[in-house]
């Protein structure tokens, strides 16, 4: 009886481990047999349906694949380098600059915080830093651009800096508006409590 139990456990472990497990970034696990991995996608068949259709998922959605032999492939989302882009157009570089600014530019925090604090004291006085900081370009050292070579391209630079300035303006004026709203509520509260 003991030998049969050990044999059953061994066979179950062989069956369970003879599959590939695709682990998605959202936590889902897919029991599969991976047939192909290329630059953008992964092709597989469901483990319980080896004669079924081939499924395709974006590689960017996959965290890792654990193969039946115990090996693993871990996938990361790295932005392609410029050398991987075949002669991008000026419009593509401008758009890439805008996307990168949305992702990497966080240099507005000083201007936004200064405007918020000053505007909490007085919204009229807060207009001074709001106007002055929102009308100036972000400093180069605050841009936090991801690629030095791309940043040297005029179209990428223009897209990145224009988007960064819009982000900075939006944050500065949002903080001024928050401070104005806080002051307005405080005044209304004081007026209502006076009566």
Residue 58 lies inside a defined structural domain of this protein: yes
CATH of the domain at 29: 2.30.30.100
Given this model, what pLDDT does residue 18 score? 63
Q: Are residues 95 and 147 in the same domain?
A: yes
| Band (73; pLDDT cuts 50, 70, 90) | confident
Rounded CA separation 114/133 (Å): 10
Rg (CA), the chain: 28
> pLDDT digits over 159-181, tens only?
999 999 999 999 999 999 999 99
> pLDDT digits over 125-164, tens only?
989 988 988 888 888 888 888 888 888 888 989 999 999 9
Q: Are residues 149 and 123 in the same domain?
A: yes
Task: With beta carbons less than 8 A apart as the criterion, state whether 98 and 160 touch.
Answer: yes
The 10 Å CB-count burial string (b at 16+, else e) for 57-86 is eeeeebeebbeeeeeeeebeeeeeeeeeee
Q: Give the mean pLDDT of the chain.
A: 82
Task: With beta carbons less than 8 A apart as the criterion, state whether 176 and 127 touch.
Answer: yes
Residue 2 lies inside a defined structural domain of this protein: no
First-to-last alpha carbon distance for the chain, in angstroms, is 89
Q: Are residues 52 and 95 in the same domain?
A: no
Tell the residue number behind the tokens 């391209």, with chain if given: 153
Whole-prediction pTM: 0.53
Rounded CA separation 63/23 (Å): 6
Q: Give the count of domains, the chain.
A: 2
Q: Are residues 92 and 188 in the same domain?
A: yes
Residue 186's closest CA among 131, 96, 119, 129? 119
Q: Are residues 55 and 135 in the same domain?
A: no
Q: Are residues 47 and 120 in the same domain?
A: no
Residue 188 lies inside a defined structural domain of this protein: yes
């Amino acid at each position: 009886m003991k030998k049969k139990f050990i044999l059953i456990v061994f066979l179950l472990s062989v069956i369970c481990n003879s599959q590939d497990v695709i682990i998605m970034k959202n936590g889902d696990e897919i029991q599969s047999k991976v047939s192909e991995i290329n630059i953008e996608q992964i092709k597989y068949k469901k483990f319980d349906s080896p004669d079924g259709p081939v499924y395709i998922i974006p590689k960017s959605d996959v965290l890792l694949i654990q193969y039946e032999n115990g090996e693993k492939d871990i996938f990361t989302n790295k932005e392609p380098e410029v050398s991987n882009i075949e002669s991008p157009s000026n419009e593509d570089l401008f758009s890439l600059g805008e996307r990168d600014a949305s992702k990497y530019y966080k240099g507005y925090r000083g201007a936004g915080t200064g405007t918020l604090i000053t505007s909490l004291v007085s919204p009229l006085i807060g207009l001074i830093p709001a106007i002055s900081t929102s009308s100036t370009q972000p400093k180069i050292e605050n841009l936090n651009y991801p690629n030095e070579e791309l940043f040297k391209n005029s179209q990428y630079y223009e897209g990145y800096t224009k988007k960064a300035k819009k982000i900075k303006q939006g944050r500065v004026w949002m903080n001024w508006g928050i401070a104005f709203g806080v002051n307005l509520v405080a005044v209304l509260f004081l007026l209502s409590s006076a009566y």
